Homo-oligomer: A and B are copies of this chain.
Amino acid sequence: MPGSSAVRPVPVPELADRLGYLFKHAHSRLSDLTTAALAPLGINGRQLAVLLVIAKEPPGSQLEIATRMALDRTTMVSLVDELEREGLVERSPDPADRRRNVVALTSRGRETTWKAAALAGQAEKTFLEPLSERDADVVKRSLRSLAFPGS
């Protein structure tokens, strides 16, 4: 995230109550922690999300992965480009419909996925450290309703 390197001062009182401001900075802090945690593996949080989606229900086309992540298919192109360059995934045309590119994890991709998931989990734990276990649970549960009110 650009801006993550910005100073993060104690909030001025007139903004400390604005949810948008708090969300921005909380997310930014989590982003910093996750980025740092994943750096040794050469990937970032967005790329881990792609890996997780592929790992869960392989193999999918680029469009399927994009839809499952609520991203545009043009954004997915460069994301898969990066992962392919790192040797973590492989594209291959779907024999049944040669317009589609099926994206599959390589064995190195599989290994990276579980390592990265563990590191990202650690980063989340660090992020939540300022909260009691109870409050952290409420936050995690609430965040889901706030992000996806229908579900």
Contacts and interface: CB of A to CB of B under 8 A. Distances in A.
- Interface SS majority for chain A: helix
- Of the candidates A11, A12, A45, A56, the one having the most CB atoms from chain B within 10 angstroms of its own CB is A12
A145 interface: yes
B148 A70 contact: no
B146 A142 contact: no
Contact of A34 (B12, B13, B20): B20
A115 interface: no
A1 B25 CA distance: 15
A22 interface: yes
Interface residues of A, number: 64
Contacts of A53: 12, 14-15
Given A19-B128, A139-B139, 10 more contacts: A3-B71, A9-B67, A11-B147, A14-B53, A19-B143, A20-B49, A23-B26, A27-B27, A29-B149, A138-B142
10 cross-chain pairs, A with B, having the tightest CB-CB distances, nearest first: A25-B147, A14-B56, A26-B147, A130-B145, A22-B143, A23-B27, A26-B146, A10-B151, A138-B138, A12-B68
